[in-house]
Amino acid sequence: MIQSASNHEPLIRLVDVHKRFGPMVVLDGIDLELKTGETTVVIGESGAGKSVILKHIVRLLKPDRGEVYYRSKRIDNLPERALVSIRYRFGFLFQLSALFDSMTVADNIAFPIVEHSKKGKSEIDVIVAEKLAMVGMDGFQDRWPADLSGGQKKRVALARAIAVDPELILYDEPTTGLDPPRSDEINELILKLKRELGVTSVVVTHDMASARKVADRIVMIYQGKFIFDGTPEAVMKTDDVRVRCFVEGRCSDEVLKTLQGKSEA
């Protein structure tokens, strides 16, 4: 049985979660516990089910079989209305930032605050400035998303993700489309938010440099199951050829199948 990397109580638990889309099995009975204050990085090839895991955590998808818990409360079977207060505790950084083009930077960040609270405009303006300052973007309140670079959009989207002080932040490919210096800026922000806000984080990424830098724990999904769960140091030393091929970026799917067959012989 795969052992988790921490003894803290779990904030999120996925128990024997199965999910298929038509004939394609994406999640084949996975178990996952997210420890409070820990950053878990999920790696795996494209289409392996990494983003599907995130969508189960926020209940954008329901498992075909299995259970999802937030703290001790089961959430996979809750009606939409009952999920509102729970989703309020989650922040989500989308792969393509997903800013509203018709809103200014300030209005983008204010949006979840307006939706989930009764705070007045002056109080919201203060919160917006605080969150933008945390990501190095204070002063950009009146800019439009179309006027921002890719890295700036990621920062603004991250400010929006933390606007309501979430317990959990979900990052879907946070460094995609960024050059190495901009990618590392996002990595530093992930570390900063963990340090200053004490958030629990899940990061889905193909970027192994990012994974090694931000992770307390790395899990790898392969053919619907987790085949690795350990520290960033351990992932670089594993004997599992499937994991080594991925983290070293040296194997095609065809070569991987050959190596896997030899290792099982």
Could you report the per-residue pLDDT of 124-156, keeping only the tens digit for each?
A: 999 999 999 999 999 999 999 999 998 899 999
Residues 14 and 115 in one domain: no
Residue 242 identity (one-letter amino acid): R
pLDDT in tens, 167-190: 999 999 998 888 899 899 999 999
Residues 46 and 67 in one domain: yes
Residues 84 and 103 in one domain: no
Residues 108 and 207 in one domain: no
Please report the beta strands in 124-262, taking only residues with DSSP state E, as ranges in sequence order: 168-172, 200-204, 217-222, 225-230
Q: How far is it, in rounded angstroms, from Cα 185 to Cα 169?
A: 17
- pLDDT number for residue 260: 58
Residues 52 and 134 in one domain: no
Q: How far is it, in rounded angstroms, from Cα 149 to Cα 233?
A: 33
Residues 150 and 176 in one domain: no
Residues 5 and 83 in one domain: yes
Q: Residue 46 domain-assigned?
A: yes
With bands split at pLDDT 50, 70 and 90, how would you rate the model's confidence at 46? confident
* CA terminus-to-terminus distance, the chain: 22
**Could you tell me the CATH number of the domain that includes residue 27?**
3.40.50.300
With bands split at pLDDT 50, 70 and 90, how would you rate the model's confidence at 5? very low
Residues 177 and 82 in one domain: yes
Residues 35 and 114 in one domain: no
Mean pLDDT, the chain, integer: 90
- pLDDT number for residue 33: 96
With bands split at pLDDT 50, 70 and 90, how would you rate the model's confidence at 38? very high
How many structural domains are present in the chain?
2
pTM assigned to the model: 0.87
Q: How far are the Cα atoms of 4, 212, 227, 244, 251 from residue 238, in angstroms, in the given order? A: 16, 14, 11, 7, 16
Structure-derived torsion over alpha carbons of residues 250, 252, 258, 259, reported in degrees to the nearest 10: 20
Q: Residue 150 domain-assigned?
A: yes
Phi, psi of 146 (to 5 degrees): -65, -20
Domain that holds residue 7: 1-89+167-182+194-239
Residues 81 and 112 in one domain: no
